Amino acid sequence: MGVINIYPNKYVLQHLSIGKQLEKELRIRIISQHIQVGEILSENQIAKAYNVSRSPVREALRTLESERLLRLERMGVVILGMSEKDIEEVYDVRLMIESFVMKRLLERENNDTLVKELRKIHEMMHVAIKFQDMDEFSLQDMNFHETIIRSIQHQQMTIVWEQLRPVMECLIILSMRYRGLTNYRDFERILTNHELIIDAIETKENTKVDLAFESNFNDVQNGVEDLWTNPEMLKEVREYVEEN
């Protein structure tokens, strides 16, 4: 198993345990199909490839099994990957979470602090695009939506989000790389959609809320469908880090 480091943010990785670093790297390799569905790996094979002990490998594999990306068997690790249906369901859950959160925000008396924080993140997204850094843009996009979700301080909703977040992060990173390689101008539209979300939270106008959700979620979910069925494009997308 040749090692290609394709997780975008090495600064983030170096502040995590070895097990968590390995978990993030393996997750994006599985979702990007660098490790193929049905492939069988061993703990020893992974440990040798990444030059780590078996303990962090086990830690990472247990988490990825809980996400149903792989299955642990006596014969080794069987890669399950993600189907198109799996990806659609992830976006469905994300939409349910953010719809619920937005409803709470519209009922809340004051969202000024949240709006101010979102505008800061939005500006960082602009900077990422200025420097053609799709991976940083992706991570700021995740930060934008997570800030909204955490703002209502709903413990159970936060738990659901934290379970969804790791896979969602990979999907966004890969889809934004896809846009960067195929239609870079599309980022301006995405930035406009996020501005619309901020305005909807600030003004609490139902028409803006509806438009913000229709624009953002239809674009994000439906705009990259071809990516998940195109092996050659997936290969280009996952190798983006090595070329930049």
- In-domain check, residue 2: no
Judgement on whether residues 69 and 174 belong to the same structural domain of the protein = no
The H or E element containing residue 190 is: helix 186-203
Q: How high is the pLDDT of residue 240? A: 73
> Is 3 a member of any domain?
no
Query: Which residue in this structure is represented by tokens 């599309």?
Result: 186
Q: Which residues contact 106 (CB under 8 A, 6 or more apart)?
A: 204, 206, 209
Domain assignment of residue 37, given as a range: 10-79
Phi, psi of 147 (to 5 degrees): -60, -40
pLDDT value for 9: 61
Please indicate, yes or no, whether residues 185 and 67 belong to a single structural domain of this protein: no
Q: In this structure, are 114 and 227 located in the same domain?
A: yes
Distance CA 154, CA 138 (A): 24
Whether residue 179 is contained in a domain is answered as: yes
The verdict on residue 5 lying in a domain is no
pTM recorded for the entire structure: 0.88
Among residues 79, 97, 116, the one where a domain terminates is 79
Q: Tens of pLDDT along the chain (244 residues)?
A: 544 465 666 555 667 788 888 999 999 999 999 999 999 999 999 999 888 999 999 999 999 999 999 999 988 999 999 998 999 899 889 989 998 999 899 899 899 999 999 999 999 999 999 999 999 999 999 999 999 999 999 999 999 999 999 999 999 999 999 989 888 888 998 999 899 999 999 998 878 777 777 777 765 555 556 788 888 888 888 777 555 5
Under DSSP, is residue 221 helix (H, G, I), strand (E, B) or coil? Answer: helix
